[in-house]
Amino acid sequence: MIVALSIFLITVGSIAFHFWSPWWWTEVASNWGNMDDTIILTFWITGVVFVAICFFVAYCVWKFSYNKDRRAEYKPEDKKLESRLTWATAIGVAALLAPGLVVWNQYVTVPDNAYKVEVFAYQWGWKYRLPGDDNILGKTDIKYINDDNPFGLILEDPNGKDDLLVDAQELHLLLDRPVKFELRTIDVLHNFYVPQFRGKMDMVPGIVTYYWLTPTRTGDFEVLCAEYCGSGHYAMRGRVIVDEEKDYKKWEANQITFEKMLAKNKKNDNLQLVKKDKLTIKKQKNVR
């Protein structure tokens, strides 16, 4: 009786803790509120099964407690019970999977008007690339990555000249504009995750993965890497700021294009050569 009562109280306590628990999701900040709906549905289905099994175990412990005058019944098969349990399990699994498959299909079906943003991950930080006036991201190849071309843009591709390069840990998005994140990594597995957006995706070397969302409220949100990527994984954080149009345009105007960055690097290289030549001439005069 004590064991049965203990199981019963543990079950009731688990239910009460679930409803009174302070640990819940952060407020959603994108169109993916149905992610929460699928999780809540999962809680309800698995919760009902959990309660039913625990109460059944408590009942069995009480009902079939040891009695020296009781004889056990040998029943190796019960086709009716097996059939019912099979159907109940199949319906439960279908109820768990079907909504998730629907949401997943929406998650990877990008709207035609989505604004593309490339997310570039490395150990241990983030960079971003935005399309310029042509609204097309230039093509890239990892073999072209160097100090002067950190994103590996192909120089012969004219669509990359006006791309905006955000070589920083901070990305700004425009409120209520659909965004497609194209995810690249230069080294190991990473995962671009903003909890309030309810969206994340693994970043696999050699592959461009993606997902999309629409920011639904302004704010300053933390970017996390949700895939263990080495000793600096804990520090791989950034920020995504969702702006109204006026603030977004102001930030966007401060970003440098790939073409301007190349010109700036070339100018710096020329200055270095001039300085080097002047230093060489000065040394030669001192020798004389």
Distance CA 285, CA 87 (A): 95
Q: Does position 53 have pLDDT exceeding 70, yes or no?
A: yes
**What pLDDT was estimated at residue 215?**
95
pLDDT digits (tens, 9 = 90+) for 6-50: 888 988 888 888 888 777 778 899 999 998 888 888 888 888 888
**What pLDDT was estimated at residue 286?**
57
DSSP single-letter state for residue 215: B
Confidence band, pLDDT 50/70/90 cuts, at residue 277: very low
Where exactly are the structural domains of the chain? 2-20+28-64+78-108, 115-267
Q: Does position 288 have pLDDT exceeding 80, yes or no?
A: no
Stretch 46-59: mean pLDDT: 89
**What pLDDT was estimated at residue 26?**
84
Peptide bond into 124 cis (omega under 30): yes
More reliable by pLDDT, 269 or 47:
47
Q: Does position 280 have pLDDT exceeding 60, yes or no?
A: no
pLDDT digits (tens, 9 = 90+) for 106-140: 999 999 999 999 999 999 999 999 998 888 898 98
Confidence band, pLDDT 50/70/90 cuts, at residue 267: low
**What pLDDT was estimated at residue 62?**
85
* CATH of span 115-267: 2.60.40.420
pTM of the model: 0.77
Q: Assign residue 230 a region: left if phi > 0, alpha if psi is -120 to 50, beta otherwise?
A: left
pLDDT digits (tens, 9 = 90+) for 201-211: 999 998 999 99
**What pLDDT was estimated at residue 4?**
86
**What pLDDT was estimated at residue 270?**
44
- Compute CA distances 7 → 22, 30, 49, whole Å: 24, 41, 15
**What pLDDT was estimated at residue 225?**
94
**What pLDDT was estimated at residue 202?**
94
Q: Does position 281 have pLDDT exceeding 60, yes or no?
A: no
**What pLDDT was estimated at residue 264?**
76
Q: Give kind and range of the element (H or E) at residue 200.
A: strand 199-203
Residue type, 192: F
**Beta strand segments in 204-261, E:** 209-213, 219-225, 237-243, 256-257
Maximum Cα interatomic distance, the chain, rounded to a whole number of Å: 118
